[in-house]
Chain A
Amino acid sequence: MIELLGWVPFLPFLGFLILAIAGERLSRRLIPWIGAGSVGISALLTALIGAQFLKGAMPPYRLALGSWMAVDNLSVPFGFYLDPLSMTMLFVVTGVGFLIHVYSAEFMESDPGYARFFAYMNLFVSAMLVLVLADNLVLLYLGWEGVGLGSYLLIGFWYEDPNNGYAARKAFVMTRAGDTSMAIGLFLLFTQLHTFDIQSVMTQATNLWTPGTVLPVAAAALLLGGAVGKSAQLPLQSWLPDAMAGPTPVSALIHAATMVTAGVYLIARTHALFMLAPSVQFAVAVIGAVTLLMAGCSALAQTDIKRILAYSTISQIGYMFLALGVGAWSAAIFHLLTHAFFKALLFLAAGAVILCFHHEHNIFRMGGLRKSMPLAFLSFMIGSAALSGLPFTSGYYSKHEILLAAFEVSPVLWTAGCLGALITGIYSFRLVFVAFFGPQHAQVEKSPGWRMSAPLLLLCILALAGAMLEIPLASVFSALAADENLHELNTVSAITVAAPFIGVLIAGLFYLTGAFSTQRLESLVWIRQIQRFFFSGWGMDAFYNILLVRPFKTIARLNKNDAVDSIYSATAFLSLMFHRLFSSLQTGQVRWYASSMVLGTIVIIAIGWLS
Chain B
Amino acid sequence: MILLALILVLFLGGLAAWFSERWNPEAPRWVAVITLSIESLLVIVQYSASGRIDYLSAGMPQAWIADFQGAWIPRFGIGFHLAADGLSLLLIALTEFLGFMAVSSSWTEIRERQGFFFFNLLSCLAGTIGVFLALDLFLFFFFWELMIIPMYFLISIWGHENRIYAAIKFFIFTQVSSLLMLVAIVALVLKHHSNSGVYTFDYFDLLNTRLEPDVALWLMAGFFIAFTVKLPAVPFHTWLPDAHTQAPTGGSVILAGVMLKTGAYGLLRFVVPLFPEAAHEFAPIAMMLGTISVLYAAVMAFAQSDLKRLIAYTSVSHMGFILLGIFSWNFLALQGAVITMLAHGISAAALFMIAGALQERLHTREMERMGGLWSAIPHLSAFTLFFAMASLGLPGLGNFIGEFLVLVGAFGVNASLTVITALGLILAPVYALIIIQKAFHGPTRQYAGLRDFSRRELASFGLLVLIMVWLGIRPQAVLDISAPAIKQDIQNTQAMENG
Closest chain-B Cβ to A509's Cβ sits at a distance in Å of 46
Binary per-residue interface labels of chain B (371-382) against chain A in the complex, 1 for a CB within 8 Å, 0 otherwise? 010110010001
Given A20-B382, A70-B476, A562-B241, decide whether A184 and B395 contact each other with a Cβ distance below 8 A. no
Among A85-93, A186-194, A362-370, A475-483, the stretch that binds chain B is: A186-194
Q: Are B411 and A176 in contact (CB under 8 A)?
A: no
In the bound complex, what is the Cα–Cα distance between A173 and B332 (angstroms)? Answer: 28
In the bound complex, what is the Cα–Cα distance between A560 and B430 (angstroms)? Answer: 15
Given A183-B407, A187-B418, decide whether A162 and B441 contact each other with a Cβ distance below 8 A. yes
B window 386-434: CB within 8 A of A: 389, 394-396, 401, 404-405, 407-408, 411-412, 415, 418-419, 422-423, 425-426, 428-430, 433-434
In the bound complex, what is the Cα–Cα distance between A533 and B222 (angstroms)? Answer: 60
Q: Are B442 and A162 in contact (CB under 8 A)?
A: yes
Among A139-147, A271-279, A391-399, the stretch that binds chain B is: A139-147
A494 within 8 A of B: no
Category for how many chain B residues contact A: 35 or more
Q: Are A552 and B408 in contact (CB under 8 A)?
A: no
Query: In this complex, what residue of A is CB-closest to B392?
Result: A176
Among B20-28, B44-52, B58-66, B230-238, the stretch that binds chain A is: B230-238
B80 within 8 A of A: no
Query: In this complex, what residue of B is CB-closest to A222?
Result: B419
A111 within 8 A of B: no
B479 within 8 A of A: yes
* A interface, over-half SS: helix
B209 within 8 A of A: no
Among B118-126, B296-304, B317-325, the stretch that binds chain A is: B296-304
B window 304-338: CB within 8 A of A: 304, 331-332, 335
In the bound complex, what is the Cα–Cα distance between A144 and B252 (angstroms)? Answer: 34
Among the interface residues B412, B429, B430, B479, which one has the most CB atoms of the partner chain A within 10 A?
Answer: B429
Chain A residues within an 8 Å CB radius of B404: 138, 183
Q: Are B441 and A71 in contact (CB under 8 A)?
A: no
Closest chain-A Cβ to B91's Cβ sits at a distance in Å of 19
Closest chain-A Cβ to B326's Cβ sits at a distance in Å of 15
B window 278-310: CB within 8 A of A: 299-300, 302-304
A488 within 8 A of B: no
Q: Are A176 and B299 in contact (CB under 8 A)?
A: no
A159 within 8 A of B: yes
B484 within 8 A of A: no
Q: Are A69 and B475 in contact (CB under 8 A)?
A: yes
Binary per-residue interface labels of chain A (550-587) against chain B in the complex, 1 for a CB within 8 Å, 0 otherwise? 00100111011010110110000000000000000000
Closest chain-B Cβ to A206's Cβ sits at a distance in Å of 22
Binary per-residue interface labels of chain B (473-484) against chain A in the complex, 1 for a CB within 8 Å, 0 otherwise? 101100100010
Chain B residues within an 8 Å CB radius of A270: none
Question: Looking at the complex, which one of B304, B408, B441 makes contact with A160 (CB distance below 8 Å)?
Answer: B441
B440 within 8 A of A: yes
Q: Are B299 and A555 in contact (CB under 8 A)?
A: yes
Question: Looking at the complex, which one of A145, A166, A169, A184 makes contact with B422 (CB distance below 8 Å)?
Answer: A184
Chain B residues within an 8 Å CB radius of A565: 238
A window 244-275: CB within 8 A of B: none
In the bound complex, what is the Cα–Cα distance between A161 and B237 (angstroms)? Answer: 36
Binary per-residue interface labels of chain A (457-475) against chain B in the complex, 1 for a CB within 8 Å, 0 otherwise? 0000000000000000000
* B interface, over-half SS: helix
Chain A residues within an 8 Å CB radius of B425: 176, 179-180, 183
Question: Looking at the complex, which one of A72, A142, A177, A557 makes contact with B426 (CB distance below 8 Å)?
Answer: A177
Query: In this complex, what residue of B is CB-closest to A144?
Result: B395
Closest chain-A Cβ to B169's Cβ sits at a distance in Å of 8
A172 within 8 A of B: yes
B37 within 8 A of A: no
Q: Are B378 and A23 in contact (CB under 8 A)?
A: yes
Q: Are B429 and A173 in contact (CB under 8 A)?
A: yes
B70 within 8 A of A: no
Chain B residues within an 8 Å CB radius of A72: 331-332, 335
B444 within 8 A of A: yes
In the bound complex, what is the Cα–Cα distance between A444 and B149 (angstroms)? Answer: 72
Query: In this complex, what residue of A is CB-closest to B444?
Result: A160
A window 124-180: CB within 8 A of B: 138, 141-142, 145-146, 149, 152, 156, 159-162, 165-166, 168-169, 172-173, 176-177, 179-180
B window 192-248: CB within 8 A of A: 234-235, 237-238, 241
Chain A residues within an 8 Å CB radius of B433: 152, 168-169, 172-173
Query: In this complex, what residue of B is CB-closest to A566?
Result: B238
Q: Are B382 and A187 in contact (CB under 8 A)?
A: no
A window 52-89: CB within 8 A of B: 67-72, 74
Given A69-B479, A165-B437, A180-B422, decide whether A560 and B303 contact each other with a Cβ distance below 8 A. yes
Chain A residues within an 8 Å CB radius of B372: 160
B window 433-449: CB within 8 A of A: 433-434, 436-437, 440-444
Chain B residues within an 8 Å CB radius of A71: 331-332, 335, 405, 479, 483
Chain B residues within an 8 Å CB radius of A187: 407-408, 411, 415, 418, 422
Closest chain-B Cβ to A388's Cβ sits at a distance in Å of 37
Among the interface residues A71, A72, A152, A173, which one has the most CB atoms of the partner chain B within 10 A?
Answer: A71
Binary per-residue interface labels of chain B (112-153) against chain A in the complex, 1 for a CB within 8 Å, 0 otherwise? 000000000000000000000000000000000000000000
Q: Are B299 and A559 in contact (CB under 8 A)?
A: yes
In the bound complex, what is the Cα–Cα distance between A145 and B335 (angstroms)? Answer: 23
Q: Are B411 and A159 in contact (CB under 8 A)?
A: no
Closest chain-A Cβ to B24's Cβ sits at a distance in Å of 37
Those 6 A-B pairs whose CB atoms lie nearest each other, nearest first: A556-B303, A142-B395, A159-B441, A565-B238, A187-B411, A560-B303
Pairs A–B under 8 Å by Cβ, sample size 22? A69-B475, A70-B476, A71-B335, A71-B479, A145-B395, A146-B396, A160-B372, A160-B375, A162-B441, A162-B442, A166-B437, A169-B434, A183-B422, A188-B411, A188-B415, A190-B408, A190-B411, A556-B299, A556-B302, A559-B299, A567-B235, A568-B238
Give 20 A-B pairs besides A70-B476, A142-B395, A559-B303 with Cβ atoms closer than 8 angstroms. A74-B405, A74-B408, A138-B404, A145-B394, A162-B442, A165-B436, A166-B437, A169-B433, A173-B430, A176-B429, A184-B419, A186-B408, A191-B408, A191-B412, A552-B299, A552-B302, A559-B300, A560-B300, A567-B235, A568-B169
